[in-house]
Amino acid sequence: MIRLERKGIILSKRDLEFEEGGVFNPACVMKDGVVQMFYRAATRENFSTIGFCQIREGEVIYRMDKPLLVPEYGFEKQGMEDPRITYLEGVYYMFYTAYDGRNAVVAYATSTDLRGFEKKGLVTPRISYDEAEDIFRNSGLDKRYREYEREYRQKRGEEVLLWEKDAALFPRKINGKYAIIHRILPGIQILYFDNFEQLTIEFWKGYLKELGKMIVLDPKYWFEESYIGGGCVPIETEEGWLLIYHAVVIEEGEKIYRAGAALLDGENPQRVIGRLREPLFEPEEEWEKRGVTNNVVFPTGAIIKGEELEIYYGGGDQSIGLVSLKIKDLLAELKEKK
């Protein structure tokens, strides 16, 4: 049985221009016994930058009064959103959604000290959704993949780029290769590669031809009927990779975001060991149910502290909350849900 403890709001917006619209969807990593949090900060006009704070024992001990990272390039001119951070082989990799006002793609930056970050450019390709769908159409995917391509072309125009969000780098190479969890609607896929220079448009076209073979999870249960996407950076445990993700369903015309969990094989993350058939947690508090966006819990940061798993999440696209649970209880439940 999973006993989940809600710790409430950990971080709220301030009366500062760069975050007066909301603070949410944080990336978290532990360093020197302190949670280093990189969060999405939004203006009232929903222009996003990356803020930074430090948390010890649930209390903020330091917080910057200006953004740590701001848009600099055309592909991110309307915002840097929803960071995830991974420590791998001496380097911190921050993945984030770059938004130009029409298109969402994934970019990344690196650091060795969590203070100075160097932007490295795009991870995902600048390819039209239409062309991408033409490539992956016959790769054995569920028909819903084609439906989302049509939807985005209708909403954002014929030349809208392949819509990519919710990417995170695994904190260990798998069979000698970097691995990225990412999302092409409506499911979660995995990408393997030798180095970041390899991620050219031609590499991605080859990958898209085989997209049907790269699925980790597709929507399956009632609370993820519309689509699912990555949440926290995959967590390595003795039982395999623990994946905390978000799931969306439309109820009475409104999206509801909930948190799901799955356990993946340590050397082959496409082999699902177990998966919760009910949400790990869902909107319950008023600030989760009524916000800039209603009915949202969006998990993006996770820290292991002893026997506890702490999950930081965006609530209502306005505040950052925290829940905790015994990791052994969650793993035991997942192993039963094969």
pLDDT at residue number 1: 78
Asked whether the whole model's pTM tops 0.95, one would answer: yes
8 Å CB contact between 117 and 83: no
Helix-then-strand count for the chain, H and E: 5, 21
Percent of the chain with pLDDT over 70: 99
* Mean pLDDT for all residues in the chain: 97
The pLDDT of residue 169 is: 98
Cross-strand partners of 50 = 40, 69
- Orientation angle between helical segments 129-136 and 144-156, nearest 10 degrees: 170
**For 33, left (φ over 0), alpha (ψ -120 to 50), or beta?**
left
pLDDT of residue 217: 98
Strands 91-99 and 34-42: unpaired
Main-chain phi, psi angles of 126, to 5 degrees: -90, 80
Domain hosting residue 91, numbered range: 5-336
Cβ proximity of 217 and 188 under 8 Å: yes
pLDDT at 338 over 90: no
CB 338 within 8 A of CB 274: yes
Give the strand pairing for 215-217 and 188-193. Answer: antiparallel
| pLDDT, tens digit (0-9, with 9 covering 90-100), for 125-176 | 999 999 999 999 999 999 999 999 999 999 999 999 999 999 999 999 999 9
Q: List CB contacts of 146: < 8 A, sequence separation 6 or more.
A: 133, 137
* Whole-number Å distance between alpha carbons of 74 and 309: 38
Classify 109 as helix, strand or coil. strand
Rounded Cα gap, residues 207 and 150, in angstroms: 21
The CATH code of the domain that includes 245 is 2.115.10.20
pLDDT tens profile 206-216? 999 999 999 99
Contact partners, residue 138, CB within 8 Å, separation at least 6: none
Instruction: Please give the tally of structural domains in the chain.
Output: 1
Is 119:107 a contact under the CB 8 Å cutoff?
yes
Which residues on neighbouring strands pair with residue 76, listed in sequence order?
none
Distance, in Å, from the CA atom of 172 to the CA atom of 157, rounded to the nearest integer, reads: 38
Tokens of 102: 């029409």
CA 186 to chain centre: 14
Question: Has residue 318 got a pLDDT over 70?
Answer: yes
Per-residue pLDDT reduced to its tens digit, 163-209: 999 999 999 999 999 999 999 999 999 999 999 999 999 999 999 99
Radius of gyration for the alpha carbons in the chain, expressed in angstroms and rounded: 19
Where are the strands (E) in 238-296, listed by range? 240-251, 254-264, 272-275
Q: How far apart are CA 336 and CA 316, in angstroms?
A: 32
pLDDT tens profile 240-253: 999 999 999 998 88
> How do residues 250-284 score in pLDDT, each as one tens digit?
988 899 999 999 999 999 999 999 999 999 999 99
Q: Could you tell me which residues are beta bridge partners of residue 6?
A: 323
Instruction: Give pLDDT, residue 336.
Output: 86
